[in-house]
Amino acid sequence: MGKTLYLECYSGISGDMTVAALLDLGADRLVLDRVLKSLKVSGFETKISRVVKSGIDACDFDVVLDKEHENHDHDMEYLHGHHHKGHENNHFYDHNHAHEDEVEHFHSHEHNHAHGAGSAQDRHHHEHRGIKEITYIIEHSAMTENAKKIALRIFEILAEAESKAHNVSVDQVHFHEVGAVDSIVDIVSVAVCLDDLDVTEVIVPVLCEGRGTVRCQHGILPIPVPAVANIVSANHLYLKMTEVEGELVTPTGAAIVAAVKTKDKLPETFEIQKIGIGAGKRQYECPGILRAMIISQSAEIDEEKAQTEKFKNPEIRNNPKAENQETKDTIIKMETNIDDCSGEVLGFVMERLMKAGARDVHYVPVFMKKNRPAWVLNVICKEEDMETLQNIIFEETTTIGIRYSRMERTILPRETRTLPTPWGEVQVKVCTLNGKEQLYPEYESVAQLSREKEIPFTEIYRYIVLANKEK
């Protein structure tokens, strides 16, 4: 079962901050190192250290480039025209080198960009990579398929944002900061760490951004920069402008959130299992950290109790004898036709939808016009979850339209209980009608016990049902 990640972006978010926070959460550095060594790019090494930001101990992830690949993005003097002190109390404990042998080199362009007087010291080298080159790098790496999918999605979002900003097609976009080595390493590292941590749900309520202007390869730009503004708009992210002078949300940071976010609301109650803190490079008034938390909640129990209480009318709520009565509820049915998706894709979509709050998901084969085979995807949800689920469908499938309707339904009062078995405890859903209880074993609970004890699923399931009938 996957983990739920909460990203607290009150000091903004960037690629290196995200990597550092995920490493601090426990992502395997050896796995990351192996993947980075497999990348068909050269000219970098990575350093992982502990730093102190605003008195808070944090992890720092730094991509160190050679002179040919140096990127001014991490140069505060370049960004703001004056010197900023670096991190305090740096103690490096990890030093990883990328392979430089057997590297396939893509087309690059050397540009001598003059800043100010245009002295020799101000000239720097850029490798401009398009989406095809970056896709090649990712596909020919040692990343898992899931990690590749995450990384490619981040780059796709960035390409779309840059395409809109510069009014060119996505295929014509050549990344500057993003296509540079350090940004490729940041994005790949984020994908690898998320995959290694088995994160399947990501909650990001809001992105806090600064104000003013920032210098980049295109000149002086207002904050949020066009790429960030485009990403936020296209992916329905929530942005909060602060009084901090400077750029808090980078295009890479915004694209990461857009690619992996599944919810924008925290549960009312939850347990923090682990905390990771990633340090930013830039020195601003705010702490300059990204706090990441692995959280958990008694989702099944809390949700079922909440629903039962929410949909009871006053008569039922105040009359214990009326607890067994049916109650009315309004539900949303979302529906769309899809004629060019595989069963594997739809299976993944179903998994994401259920984890994002869908009450039920199913799809059935149909034949459309011109006798084309297709699928009809149906999603049952509450109205407050519509937008999140709708975005997932658009992101993960090729559909361009979703129908929805409001429906009345009758539901039975229900609760979740924990029952003992010879092999351990399991959760069951109990519904009541006319004083009689009907028990339904929870799939995930039974499946987990089956895997742990190596007992057939059906044996555990039958035991629970039969034991209930004997009572």
pLDDT, tens only, 420-465:
888 988 888 888 888 788 888 888 889 988 988 888 999 988 888 8
Q: Quick one: residue 43, left, alpha or beta (phi over 0 = left, psi -120 to 50 = alpha)?
A: left
| Segment of 174-178, 217-221, 286-290, 323-327 carrying the highest mean pLDDT | 286-290
Mean pLDDT, rounded, for 23-37: 95
Name the residue with higher pLDDT: 444 or 304.
444
Mean pLDDT, rounded, for 94-113: 39
Q: Are residues 436 and 400 in the same domain?
A: no
Q: Is 90 exceeded by the pLDDT of residue 12? A: yes
Q: Are residues 51 and 167 in the same domain?
A: yes
What's residue 68's pLDDT?
A: 66
pTM for the model stands at 0.57
- DSSP string spanning 344-404? HHHHHHHHHHHHTT-SEEEEEEEE-GGG-EEEEEEEEE-GGGHHHHHHHHHHHS-----EE
The total domain count for the chain is 3
CATH number of 391's domain:
3.30.70.1380
pLDDT bracket for residue 297 (50, 70, 90): confident
Q: Are residues 331 and 424 in the same domain?
A: no
Q: Are residues 164 and 55 in the same domain?
A: yes
Q: Is 80 exceeded by the pLDDT of residue 246? A: yes
What's residue 181's pLDDT?
A: 83
Q: Is residue 320 part of a domain?
A: no
What's residue 70's pLDDT?
A: 61
Q: Are residues 399 and 430 in the same domain?
A: no
Distance (Å, whole) CA 71 – CA 93: 24
Domain residue limits at 445: 414-470
What's residue 77's pLDDT?
A: 40
Question: Side chain identity at 99, as an amino acid letter?
Answer: H
Residues 72-87 have pLDDT tens digits of: 444 444 344 343 444 4
Q: Are residues 128 and 229 in the same domain?
A: yes
Distance (Å, whole) CA 214 – CA 100: 33
Q: Is residue 311 part of a domain?
A: no
Q: What are phi and psi of 14, to 5 degrees?
A: -140, 175
What pairing do the DSSP bridges indicate for beta strands 436-441 and 424-433?
A: antiparallel
Residues 362-399 have pLDDT tens digits of: 999 999 888 889 999 999 999 888 999 999 999 999 89
Q: Are residues 15 and 87 in the same domain?
A: yes
Q: Is residue 301 part of a domain?
A: no
Q: Are residues 391 and 433 in the same domain?
A: no
Distance (Å, whole) CA 427 – CA 241: 44
Q: Are residues 51 and 176 in the same domain?
A: yes
Q: Is residue 313 part of a domain?
A: no
Mean pLDDT of the residues in the chain: 80
pLDDT bracket for residue 290 (50, 70, 90): very high
Mean pLDDT, rounded, for 236-254: 93
Mean pLDDT, rounded, for 274-297: 90
Q: Is residue 151 part of a domain?
A: yes
Q: Are residues 140 and 115 in the same domain?
A: yes
Name the residue with higher pLDDT: 282 or 14.
14
Q: Is residue 203 part of a domain?
A: yes
Q: Are residues 358 and 374 in the same domain?
A: yes
Domain boundary, last residue among 273, 296, 319: 296
pLDDT bracket for residue 287 (50, 70, 90): confident
Q: Are residues 177 and 285 in the same domain?
A: yes
pLDDT bracket for residue 37 (50, 70, 90): very high
Residues 104-146 have pLDDT tens digits of: 333 333 333 333 333 333 434 445 677 888 899 999 999 999 9
pLDDT bracket for residue 411 (50, 70, 90): confident
Mean pLDDT, rounded, for 37-50: 91
Distance (Å, whole) CA 197 – CA 153: 18
| Residue with tokens 């002295």, as numbered in its chain | 119
Q: Is residue 118 part of a domain?
A: yes
The answer to whether 64 touches 185, Cβ cutoff 8 Å, is no
Q: Is residue 317 part of a domain?
A: no
Helix, strand and coil percent figures for the chain, each rounded to 5: 40, 30, 30
pLDDT bracket for residue 229 (50, 70, 90): very high
Domain boundary, last residue among 366, 396, 411: 411
